[in-house]
Amino acid sequence: MKRVVLVLTLLAALVATRPLTVSTAVDPALVGQWSAVLPWPAVGVHSHLLNTGKVLFFAGSGNDELYTTGLRSVVWDYEAGGFHKPYTPVDVFCAHQSFLADGRLLVVGGTETYAFTGLRTTYAFDPGSEEWVRLGDMSVGRWYPTSVATGSGRSPSTEARCPCRRLPGSQPA
């Protein structure tokens, strides 16, 4: 344990004593750029960079009538500047997400009601088709769950009010 602390201390000292380089480049491809606000089709409560380079956003429900009436998810192709709006089958607000080994985004639980009731559903968002794919149901609904994709392809999920269970259909095909 003492060796680990010593090594971490030496690494921290090395990083802290290195000079900080500040870029003065003005090329937006190198340093980014600020611009006017873009019109956005959904509030990005949840957002994920997909393996296609596009970004998936999905909104909350019921918090802002202008943006969240109905269930919404949006795939933003920032290079082309466009949006794809896939059909969103359930209220995935208050769900948990983790990427599977094949690049799909596993989404477990969500909002059934705002009386602390979660959904039993599990979905995967397929970056290739840019659509939601229904997987199996969990034995109980989960609101604000936690899920972890493991090396074996399983994704156990838990919530404070229910025990940990394996998600049906969570293993990549």
Amino acid at site 3: R
* Most confident listed range (72-76, 78-82, 130-134): 130-134
Please provide residue 91's backbone torsions phi and psi, each rounded to the nearest 5 degrees: -80, 95
SS3 119: strand
With tokens 């983790």, the residue in question is 98
SS3 31: helix
The pLDDT value given to residue 11: 63
What integer best gives the mean pLDDT of the chain?
79
The pLDDT value given to residue 163: 46
Phi-psi region of 70 (alpha: psi -120 to 50; beta: other; left: phi over 0): left
Amino acid at site 109: G
Indicate the length of the chain as a whole number: 173
Q: Is residue 56 within 8 Å of 68, Cβ to Cβ?
A: no
The pLDDT value given to residue 107: 92
The pLDDT value given to residue 14: 63
Query: Is the full-model pTM beyond 0.95?
Result: no
Domains of the chain plus CATH, in order, are 40-166 (2.120.10.80)
In this prediction, residue 77 has a pLDDT band, given cuts at 50, 70 and 90, of: very high
Query: How does pLDDT run across 96-119, given as a tens digit for each residue?
Result: 899 988 999 999 988 887 777 889
Is residue 4 pLDDT above 80, yes or no? Answer: no
Annotate 46-103 with three-state secondary structure: EEEECCCCCEEEECCCCCCHHHHCCCCEEEEECCCCEEECCCCCCCCCCCEEEECCCC
Phi-psi region of 119 (alpha: psi -120 to 50; beta: other; left: phi over 0): beta
- Strands of 146-147's sheet, edge to edge? 146-147, 156-159, 162-166
Query: How does pLDDT run across 9-62, given as a tens digit for each residue?
Result: 766 666 666 676 766 667 888 778 887 777 888 777 889 999 999 999 987 665
Percent of the chain with pLDDT over 90: 28
